[in-house]
Amino acid sequence: MKKNIIKKLFIKISRIMGYEIIDQNNFTSPTLDKELNKDLSMLNDKSIVLPLGEVKISRKVESILVLFRTNSNIEIWDQNKKRLFELSKIEYTLRSLKSLLKSINFCKEKYSNIKIKIIIIDDNTNESNLSKIKNLISKNNLNIVFKKVDHEKYKKIIKEQKNEQTYSNLASLLCCYESAKENTDDLVFFVEDDYLHFEPMMEEMIASYERISSQINKDIFMCPADYPYLYMNNEKTNVLIGNKRHWRTVSETLCTFMTSKKFLEKYWDNFYKTCLDRHDPFEKYINEIYKSEICVSPLKSLSVHFTNVNSSYGLSPFIDYKKLWTENE
């Protein structure tokens, strides 16, 4: 009885002082009142990964603006190829959106204090497909705004392109970045409509953003996909510990990534110049940012880019593509 009283007193004092106790004999944390195989971290407070211990969260995430860019009329931009499963583009757009909404809802169940707003930037989707997208939106109790791209607005800004598809893509992207600049309060997540997301994606990105940025004491860029092309140049990388998986530093991404309002404003010229012309690579000015700032991608992937099976910019390795596809039907 005396031992129990002392133990309870010790646990109480530890809680007051902000320390956590690990009881490896019983495989529990008495201060957290959890088994060690449970999530021990607390959003906006501390990130705990065994056996590395605790990281105090100094960079707290308060809100996320998600910009989902859609065009269901173009099968694969800049290519004459078919995607994995060889269906019409609207199928990929709908499954992409469905998986994104599922991931956001999953995240909100755990992190209810995080404010999440979604803006859908639509580029010339026909009425039939538009109704399918809006029907999917109507089934979710989320803060979603729909915005059509005004192509005329950018005629004097974007250089003349070889085809209408390229101009349309650049106009859509510029509309997306401008919407982010006007509406972002904290984090911003740019998402294209041919990525399918695993349910824990949003949760892992938020918690890992807090952990990694708190450790290095600065904001970061995060890409949710583990692209195959990143393994083709034998580039050196640093591996970091996130919330529930490893992350590695990368020097390139496509146009699906998360960052902060601070970095959006700091590197606005890079964002803006990306949209003025067709560059090689397309993300040239975005990738230039990574020479000065840290960008990380997950191991293994949280999102999969559903392109042609032979594309080095597409399918992430070691993923059950068919399962992810059918889960979001």
User: pLDDT per position in the chain (329 positions), as tens?
Assistant: 555 665 566 566 666 666 677 778 788 877 778 888 888 899 999 999 988 989 999 999 999 999 999 998 877 766 778 899 999 999 999 999 999 999 999 999 999 999 999 999 999 899 999 999 999 999 999 999 999 999 999 999 999 998 889 999 999 999 999 999 999 999 999 999 999 999 999 999 999 999 999 999 999 999 999 999 999 988 899 999 999 999 999 999 999 999 999 999 999 999 999 999 999 999 999 999 999 999 999 999 999 999 999 888 899 999 999 999 999 99
Domain 63-327: CATH superfamily is: Spore Coat Polysaccharide Biosynthesis Protein SpsA; Chain A (3.90.550.10)
Task: Write out the H or E segment, with its range, that includes residue 164.
Answer: helix 164-183
Which pLDDT score, from 0 to 100, does residue 319 have?
97
The sign one gets for the Cα dihedral 317, 318, 323, 324 is negative
The whole-angstrom separation of Cα 271 and Cα 291 is 15
pTM: 0.94
Q: Which of 252, 305, 74, 257 is nearest to 171 (CA)?
A: 74
Which residues lie closer than 8 Å to 6 by C-beta, 6 or more apart? Answer: none
What's the distance, Cα to Cα, between the start and end of the chain in Å? 58
Which pLDDT score, from 0 to 100, does residue 38 have?
85
Could you tell me the CA-to-CA distances from 135 to 34, 50, 125, 132, 195 in Å, in that order? Answer: 41, 43, 14, 5, 20
Task: Write out the H or E segment, with its range, that includes residue 70.
Answer: strand 63-70
User: What is the CB-side half-sphere exposure of residue 146 using CA atoms within 13 A?
Assistant: 13
Could you tell me the CA-to-CA distances from 174 to 69, 181, 210, 270 in Å, in that order? Answer: 11, 11, 28, 11
Which pLDDT score, from 0 to 100, does residue 236 have?
92
For residue 285, the tally of other CB atoms under 10 A from its CB is: 18
Which pLDDT score, from 0 to 100, does residue 31 have?
79
The whole-angstrom separation of Cα 167 and Cα 98 is 27
Q: Which of 136, 44, 63, 45 is nearest to 99 (CA)?
A: 136
Domain edges within the chain: 2-56, 63-327
Q: Which of 259, 263, 243, 245 is nearest to 300 (CA)?
A: 245
Which pLDDT score, from 0 to 100, does residue 28 have?
85
Asked if 275 contacts 203 with a C-beta cutoff of 8 angstroms, the reply is: no
